[in-house]
A and B are shown apart, each in its own frame.
Chain A
């Protein structure tokens, strides 16, 4: 049973409206006789019948708008009864992301530059990017296993190798190959800048931070913490252990304890899921010569102050020496940044995505504060700042966490 569908009337038209049926069910229909009036954005036309017979079922009411290709009515050939044949589904409406052609795209390839020949062994085919990295970092490319076509060593392979081998980028790299012309065709005048070559670390940092900033809604808050008691505890502990101690292991321990009560902050928002971790894998921001690096202290919640101190020292030393392993930089669940070391009293860190929280510990400053009974005392104060992923956490939760953290810092127990 022939079905008449909404025709494509004019370039770029995607739908039409049946203004008026000119034939009713049961009316005889001659070839080319007008069936209905159709209105589109561009034209109003009568639809000449492509079939001869009798008007059968009409699937679209007067005034109704349907996409191009949708069934309008059936034309019953003489002898058959309407309703014998099921109505085919209308083709899916052309959504804005639909492919431009009506037919399925041909599987023929369109012209492009010839596909790379995959003749056999490409283990020693080194691209400019790979050679450049090798030169910059003094790598023996033979040492690297290639994951590209034909065993080719790719740029990513070299970068991964670098992350593992922790080779420092030289401070003086070759000049960038981009010619110093501000406008194409302009005379080659001396440029007002020199191009600073980016180490792989720098590039990775740039990319990850940009993505974090762009993709994650980040909110920030801070609390003031009285660390006077903590300082005393630190001094006592240092004396007992017979070594120098910073505040960092104490803050780290307080953080782990606070996370036990607020586990939602020990989480990663990745692959569309909010994953809450059992272990606190604490990332510590370290300023290494090649750039910011965040080695991870795994299962930090299990460590004592002594253990934390030793582990932190080790991580920081190896980070600065460029001797971190891949395991050292993976699997973090929350990051701590000791920004106070630079003198900062408040800072707004960018999330180390996909972690949902990052905490800073700011500079300790002796200040007059109001204490019990409205008296004024000089106390050692430090701000603790928190940036969090607002998709995963609300201000309420974040604030509660900080309140807990503050308690642990202000009233520390003997380690």
Chain B
């Protein structure tokens, strides 16, 4: 099934003055957010059925991720995501089928061929950088890529993503420090979802905003409502363009909310009041986006429902297909410890 053929309507590519985005782009946004969410929901079901041992998702952060990823030039710019960034990966070209292969740890999962836990993304051909479970290390890698590109003379931008918990680690500070000294084209995109597993942000940092830390590195920074996809795009796009032209790095903090538990292994009722969840569920970014484009008359309801139906079918197909794919053989563990020439 062609995954990009969502509706039969040809969308205008003209930028709407109120959104700084075209209808085609807006449709794309909605599609990716929805696809990420539906895939995650399906993954959790598989987990509860005992078929996917570990699931970690970005529910509630799709708007931030899609808004930011769409501000980049796909095919040129590098993305160094973290484990919640399924939506970003989809924007960068990962398919629903690949996402399901990944959660099932299948032999042919292009992210890590069953060698890493799920949600450890990688795709060199799409310029998605492999990352480990150690958070914040990827921020330094992003800086290295930007440095390499400058030495090579290639103009590009690197987006390095993490949660607010990662900003406590030394590598976060070392990365910002170096990027700022050398004015490298790196966008440090922090998805502050309010929780590092069970710890709220006051335990993680003494300043109210992660973006406040940029001042220590003389770096440009912005805070944006991460639940508003368009707002995120409108904030990230100019920063990306400026960085590409040599304006230096940015620290952009998207205020989000983690709608689900940390992972399939976490029981968040131990530390999160039910009321808080209910309040934030009303601000679900996908719902918010849908209501907004409907209210603004951008798309008729049927179109959005059609996208929903399409996404459901895409997810169903991906699950069915992926479940039938082969598992790695035990001895597959032995290969590729070293790169042969």
For A186, what are the chain B residues with a Cβ–Cβ distance below 8 Å? Answer: 334
* Shortest CB distance A67–B (Å): 43
Interfacial residues of chain A within 165-194, with CB under 8 A of chain B in the complex: 185-187
Interfacial residues of chain A within 184-218, with CB under 8 A of chain B in the complex: 185-187
For B334, what are the chain A residues with a Cβ–Cβ distance below 8 Å? Answer: 185-187
- In the assembled complex, the Cα of A185 lies from the Cα of B334 at a distance in Å of 8
Name A's interface SS. Answer: loop
- In the assembled complex, the Cα of A185 lies from the Cα of B337 at a distance in Å of 11
For A187, what are the chain B residues with a Cβ–Cβ distance below 8 Å? Answer: 331, 334
* Shortest CB distance A180–B (Å): 16
In this complex, what residue of A is CB-closest to B337? A185
In this complex, what residue of A is CB-closest to B331? A187
Q: How large is the interface on A (under 10, 10 to 19, 20 to 34, 35 or more residues)?
A: under 10
Q: Mark B315-338, 1 if CB is under 8 A from A, else 0.
A: 000000000000000010010000
* Shortest CB distance B218–A (Å): 34
* Shortest CB distance B127–A (Å): 33
- In the assembled complex, the Cα of A186 lies from the Cα of B334 at a distance in Å of 7
* Shortest CB distance B332–A (Å): 11
For B331, what are the chain A residues with a Cβ–Cβ distance below 8 Å? Answer: 187
- In the assembled complex, the Cα of A54 lies from the Cα of B155 at a distance in Å of 68
Q: Mark A341-377, 1 if CB is under 8 A from B, else 0.
A: 0000000000000000000000000000000000000
- In the assembled complex, the Cα of A304 lies from the Cα of B334 at a distance in Å of 71
* Shortest CB distance A89–B (Å): 53
* Shortest CB distance A203–B (Å): 34
For A185, what are the chain B residues with a Cβ–Cβ distance below 8 Å? Answer: 334
In this complex, what residue of B is CB-closest to A185? B334
- In the assembled complex, the Cα of A185 lies from the Cα of B331 at a distance in Å of 11
Q: Mark B109-129, 1 if CB is under 8 A from A, else 0.
A: 000000000000000000000
* Shortest CB distance B339–A (Å): 15
In this complex, what residue of B is CB-closest to A186? B334
* Shortest CB distance B290–A (Å): 54
* Shortest CB distance B328–A (Å): 15
* Shortest CB distance A190–B (Å): 15
In this complex, what residue of A is CB-closest to B334? A187
* Shortest CB distance A184–B (Å): 11
* Shortest CB distance B154–A (Å): 37
Q: Mark A370-414, 1 if CB is under 8 A from B, else 0.
A: 000000000000000000000000000000000000000000000
Can you show 4 pairs from A to B with CB atoms below 8 A apart?
A185-B334, A186-B334, A187-B331, A187-B334
List of 4 A-B pairs having minimum Cβ-Cβ separation, nearest first: A187-B331, A187-B334, A186-B334, A185-B334
